[in-house]
Amino acid sequence: MDKSIQILLNSFKNIASVDVDNFNKIEVDNKPMEINEYDIRNVLSATEIFDAEREANPIYRISGKIEFMSMLNGLKNTYSTFSDFFYPELINSKNASNSFDYYLVRPTSGYTQVISGGSTILWIRYFKVIATPSDFDIYPAGFSNNVYGEQAYAFNFNKDFNVAPYLDNFGFPATELFLYAQYKNSSSPAETFYFTQWNNTAGIVSPKLAFVPKALVIGDVIKTTAGDRIGDLIEYSKSTFYQAQLSPQAFYIRTPYSGGYLQWKYNPLIPFTLRYFNDNLSKANISGTSYEQVNSIPYYATDMGNGNRVWRTIMPQGYFDPLTGIGVDYPFVNKKRYLFSNIILSVAPDLNDASTLAKFSEIWFSRFATPLDITPVGDINNIGKPCL
């Protein structure tokens, strides 16, 4: 049996002591509180958490490799005769690093409508600068050459890009960014530049316009020194939430030499695919629809009027459509998506130009050859026989 213990007051222990209450008082509160239940059997999925973080993250870091495929690659800057285009120089020659200024651009607002009369409408799409050559690092790639043994170059944009606020003329979120390669025209000999412009009433190509390249800063729309905007041709259907490039932009370079000139062409806008839209079209009407359903409609859905919305969902990272095979799966580390792209920068002779075609026709060995109906004579049947 437990012994009873009596606690004496301090005043009984010492006449000079003060009685003190040594017990803590407990206050009884009747406020209702929510009980947070925790199930110790709940298992966290690291994969699900990773996928959720990646899908919610809109930040990209872009790098890649450039192969400059052209007869201009390796040429000296002071060519003077037609034969100079066939003798590459080892030093002080053109290459992917010194022949172009590189910008990163995105589709912006202010497209020019082109009347087509069909079910879809054609537009000239324009682009806004989000990174300049000062944000672009390019250097020879180690142990890497193209098929002609010429040096390939690696590149990297030394800044991150948050694509969340990027919307185009139709309110589409960014699914592509573009590398804008602006050729550095030589002054000796004086090279000239032309770009493609589309007729605003019929969607046909107008005569190429000469222009002088303009140094651009962040926020500029790609344009010439005269203020002419440069873009590509796309088709757009509002009812099906669809747009696609119909015709890319083409730049033309005229390189003069003694006795004539050669004309070259290339596409200056090279796409980086960030993500894809799903092929399935979604439709909804927000009139009288529950809050949960309205909240599930993405912010970029197209308003068709009368409360109707159409959109296509963005395919998740790591998912590839089993029918089309399209999809992306970029590494996701340190809260960034790392996009790497192999680029073939092709500057080819423009054989639609009469002067260029005439010069290259001279070196087509079988261009105007006449076959001879003569049986070749050989000694293959005398192999192994004694010499006479």
- Cα–Cα distance, 129 to 219 (Å, whole number): 5
Strand partners, 263: 254
- pLDDT at site 5: 67
Q: What is the pLDDT of residues 78-101, one digit of tens each?
A: 888 888 888 888 788 899 999 999
Among left, alpha and beta (phi > 0; psi -120 to 50; other), residue 149 is left
Neighbours of 208 (CB within 10 A): 16
- The string of DSSP codes covering 342-358 is EEEEEEEE-TTSHHHHH
Domain residue spans of the chain: 68-153+164-278+341-361, 280-313
- Cα–Cα distance, 349 to 199 (Å, whole number): 25
- Cα–Cα distance, 339 to 326 (Å, whole number): 16
Nearest C-alpha neighbor of 164 from the set 60, 62, 244: 60
Identify residue 272 by its one-letter amino acid code: F
Through-space distance between the first and last CA atoms of the chain, rounded to whole angstroms:
136
Question: What is the token pair recorded at 290?
Answer: 């529950």
- pLDDT at site 290: 63
- What is the model's pTM? 0.81
Q: What is the pLDDT of residues 238-287, one digit of tens each?
A: 989 999 999 999 999 999 988 889 999 999 999 999 999 998 899 988 87
Identify residue 21 by its one-letter amino acid code: D
pLDDT, tens digit only, all 388 positions of the chain: 566 667 777 777 776 777 776 666 677 777 777 766 666 666 677 888 888 899 999 999 999 999 999 999 998 888 888 888 888 887 888 999 999 999 999 999 999 888 665 556 889 999 999 999 999 999 999 888 888 888 999 999 999 999 999 999 999 999 999 999 999 887 778 889 999 988 766 566 666 788 888 899 999 999 988 888 999 999 999 989 999 999 999 999 999 988 889 999 999 999 999 999 998 899 988 876 666 667 788 989 998 888 889 999 999 998 998 888 899 999 999 999 999 999 999 999 999 999 999 998 888 665 566 666 666 666 667 777 776 6
